[in-house]
């Protein structure tokens, strides 16, 4: 019997090669490889149109984007954030010179719980860094109320939230700044890359300077900048891929619907992101394995692995439980009960636009066969 192909949790998108090649030829001719080149400009403009926002600064990756956003907002002291995310969201706070303080998450959205955030505020708190986890929007109204009451900045880590809409408008309109990731594994990619969406024009201009070593002109370098520039090949890749993203999100939705139809009724399994929510992008398909299911999350993960299916435990372990952060008072074992419970039960199933129904059925069958 032919060995079944391995199925991973995601599979990066690439633009049709024929659409990318003419752009690469242009780069080869011009020898402009980076430093604010023509493809970066075209890409930034196309992205701004696509996202329906203003003041977009394209950067080399989201981690640098988060650090720049926090620096530009003069964040210091303590920043309240979620322990239930990719590690870069807390790392960026440290690199920006502040200290992450963890608040608990909401059991339904798996995003920061505004009430828990408010309990963590001290005289040293300067900002909230929230994550639209799996592309599910945060309780933006709740977070904005808390931030306004205590005069805090809000930065959204929107690494999962490309194309997400809330009440008919881009979720990126919320907060002082939002940061997108264009890493290969995200909804939309430029191999590596990202973008910062700022509320005002002056902030965008300042971010562009800060991300180019702080250079204003040849002899004027007033601030501690860094190199966060996107190169021309990544920008061309993004330009070629952008026209295909809308369809990819529709294809993801079809995958989500097939999972939902066959898994939603399985006892002890909860699907976190129901299909059909307007404006959702279907970035991931996380399930929560509960007490009603015959085997544990880890045992199910192992069963899938034996069939060549590599589901992933995003996000386990919690950031708060990593050695770099686990000494924090907000990271202690009695804290963060919801985040701890979710991290122990979550499993992200393979989710990408060209996951074909036959391969997807292999995943579903393993889950259903345990009952
Ligand atoms: C991927 C990711 C990042 C980091 O993005 P890069 O572009 O790889 O630096 C940050 N936060 C979250 C939540 C992510 O998933």
End-to-end CA distance of the chain: 27
Residue 56: its pLDDT value, please?
Answer: 98
Q: How far apart are CA 314 and CA 86, in angstroms?
A: 8
The ligand 1 atom at the shortest distance from the C-alpha of residue 89 is: 11
Pair (325, 259) in one structural domain = yes
Of 186, 216, 244, the position where a domain reaches its end is 244
pLDDT one-digit tens code per residue, 178-213: 999 999 999 999 999 999 999 999 999 999 999 999
Pair (261, 238) in one structural domain = no
Residue 1: its pLDDT value, please?
Answer: 44
Measured in angstroms, how far is the CA atom of residue 63 from the centroid of ligand 1?
6
pLDDT one-digit tens code per residue, 28-76: 999 999 999 999 999 999 999 999 999 999 999 999 999 999 999 999 9
Q: Is residue 319 part of a domain?
A: yes
The ligand 1 atom at the shortest distance from the C-alpha of residue 131 is: 13
Residue 289: its pLDDT value, please?
Answer: 98
Domain enclosing residue 346, as ranges: 245-369
CATH number, residue 30 = 3.40.640.10
The residue to mutate among 60, 66, 86, 319, having the most atoms of ligand 1 within 8 angstroms of its beta carbon, is 86
- Measured by CA distance, the residue closest to atom 8 of ligand 1 is 183
| Structural domain count of the chain | 2
Measured in angstroms, how far is the CA atom of residue 322 from the centroid of ligand 1?
17
Pair (203, 250) in one structural domain = no
Q: How far apart are CA 370 and CA 347, in angstroms?
A: 15
The ligand 1 atom at the shortest distance from the C-alpha of residue 193 is: 7
Q: Where are the alpha helices (DSSP H) in the chain?
A: 17-30, 38-51, 62-72, 88-95, 114-119, 140-150, 201-210, 232-241, 245-263, 297-306, 337-345, 357-369
Task: Yes or no: say if 210 and 72 are a contact pair by the CB < 8 Å rule.
Answer: yes
Q: Is residue 1 part of a domain?
A: no
Measured in angstroms, how far is the CA atom of residue 157 from the centroid of ligand 1?
8
Mean confidence (pLDDT) of the chain: 97
Q: Is residue 62 part of a domain?
A: yes
Strands 125-131, 153-157: parallel, antiparallel or unpaired by DSSP? parallel
The ligand 1 atom at the shortest distance from the C-alpha of residue 192 is: 7
Task: Yes or no: say if 319 and 325 are a contact pair by the CB < 8 Å rule.
Answer: yes
Pair (235, 258) in one structural domain = no
Q: Is residue 22 part of a domain?
A: yes
Pair (240, 277) in one structural domain = no
Residue 3: its pLDDT value, please?
Answer: 59
Of 183, 215, 244, the position where a domain reaches its end is 244
CATH number, residue 271 = 3.90.1150.10
Pocket of ligand 1 (CB under 6 A): 61-63, 85-86, 88-89, 131, 157, 159-160, 181, 183, 194
């Amino acid at each position: 019997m032919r060995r079944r192909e391995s199925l991973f949790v995601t599979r990066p998108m690439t633009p049709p090669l024929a659409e990318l090649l003419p752009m690469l030829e242009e780069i080869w001719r011009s020898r402009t490889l980076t430093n604010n080149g023509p493809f970066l400009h075209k890409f930034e403009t196309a992205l701004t149109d696509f996202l329906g926002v203003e003041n977009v600064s394209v950067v080399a990756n989201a981690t640098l984007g988060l650090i720049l956003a926090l620096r530009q907002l003069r964040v210091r002291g303590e920043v309240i954030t979620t322990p239930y995310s990719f590690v870069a969201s807390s790392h960026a706070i440290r690199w920006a010179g502040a200290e992450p303080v963890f608040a608990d998450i909401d059991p339904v959205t798996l995003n920061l719980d505004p009430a828990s955030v408010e309990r963590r505020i001290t005289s040293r708190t300067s900002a909230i860094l929230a994550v639209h986890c799996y592309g599910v929007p945060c309780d933006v109204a709740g977070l904005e109320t808390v931030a306004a009451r205590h005069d805090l900045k809000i930065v959204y880590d929107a690494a999962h939230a490309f194309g997400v809409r809330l009440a008919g408008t881009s979720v990126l309109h919320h907060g002082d700044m939002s940061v997108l990731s264009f890493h290969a594994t995200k909804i939309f990619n430029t191999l590596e890359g990202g973008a910062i969406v700022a509320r005002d024009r002056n902030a965008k201009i300042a971010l562009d300077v800060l991300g180019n070593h702080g250079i204003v002109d040849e002899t004027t370098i007033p601030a501690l900048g860094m190199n966060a520039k996107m190169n021309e090949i990544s920008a061309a890749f993004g330009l070629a891929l952008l026209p295909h993203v809308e369809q990819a999100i529709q294809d993801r939705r079809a995958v989500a619907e097939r999972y939902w139809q066959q898994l939603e009724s399985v006892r002890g399994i909860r699907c976190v992101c129901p299909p059909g929510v307007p404006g959702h992008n279907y970035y991931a398909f996380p399930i929560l394995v509960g007490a009603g299911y015959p085997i544990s999350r880890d045992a199910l993960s192992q069963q899938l692995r034996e069939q060549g299916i590599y589901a992933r435990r995003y996000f386990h372990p919690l950031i708060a439980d990593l050695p770099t952060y686990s000494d924090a008072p907000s990271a202690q074992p009695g804290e963060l009960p919801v985040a701890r419970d979710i991290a122990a039960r979550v499993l992200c199933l393979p989710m990408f636009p060209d996951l074909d129904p036959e391969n997807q059925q292999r995943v579903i069958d393993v889950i259903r066969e345990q009952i």
